[in-house]
Amino acid sequence: MKMKSKKHQKLYEHYVDVMGKEPIFSLQLKKDVLSDVAEQMKPVTTYVFEPTDELPFWKLCTIGASDYVMPEREIGWGRKANRRNEYVMFISPEVEVSDPTGNKISDTSWLFLNSLLWATAEYAFNEKDNVTVSDTIDMGLDGKYRGVVLLLPEVFKTPRIVKCYISKNQYISIFQVMPVTKEQLAKKIKKGTNGIYWLMEEFYTHDDDYKLVKSKPLATL
């Protein structure tokens, strides 16, 4: 598929390479869905990859969020967070995911999960902030999910999905967006400085040597 820019083309090819096949459809976030302050932000597109034998779940991948260069952010030990992000979400194969723009009448409940992905993609622009792995975003939602946490997508056997190089020294970070409940966010806050580690371990559990021993990385409705 031909993209509008070289950067978007590299992202698209990166996703296809990691997922092992082309997406089956895409959805574009229209500007009128965004808040007024985000009118200058270019539209974000979700590319939907279907479950496969190797990756038996739905993969939603954004292109467009990284058009916004986030402000610099110190993350400790002399390190700085990257300033360009894209986002992915993994959805249980039990959830019906289909193109809402098609002629076939289908269940569109899954679009709520995609809206969390889009809300994450626009968050840094709206807040003029830098978001990175281990950050939580409390969206103040009612219902099953209250917000999201950003994770490294450890469900993949190799970490290469995390960085998409757009030049020799520049890359775009790709983080997993995981929906979280009101109770999970409250417990994270109650645990203080250890709260974020507890929350991340809810989805990717490691042993004392930080070897992954269990994972629950799929969003459900």
Domain edges within the chain:
6-215
**26: how many CB neighbours lie within 10 A of its CB?**
16
**Alpha carbons 141 and 152: distance in angstroms, whole number:** 24
Identify whether the C-beta of residue 68 lies closer than 8 Å to the C-beta of residue 34: no
- From first to last of the 221 residues of the chain, give the pLDDT tens digit: 899 899 999 999 999 999 999 999 999 986 544 444 445 666 899 999 999 999 999 999 999 999 999 999 999 899 999 999 999 999 999 999 999 987 777 889 999 999 999 999 999 999 999 999 999 999 999 999 999 999 999 999 889 999 999 999 999 999 999 999 999 999 999 999 999 999 999 999 999 999 999 999 999 99
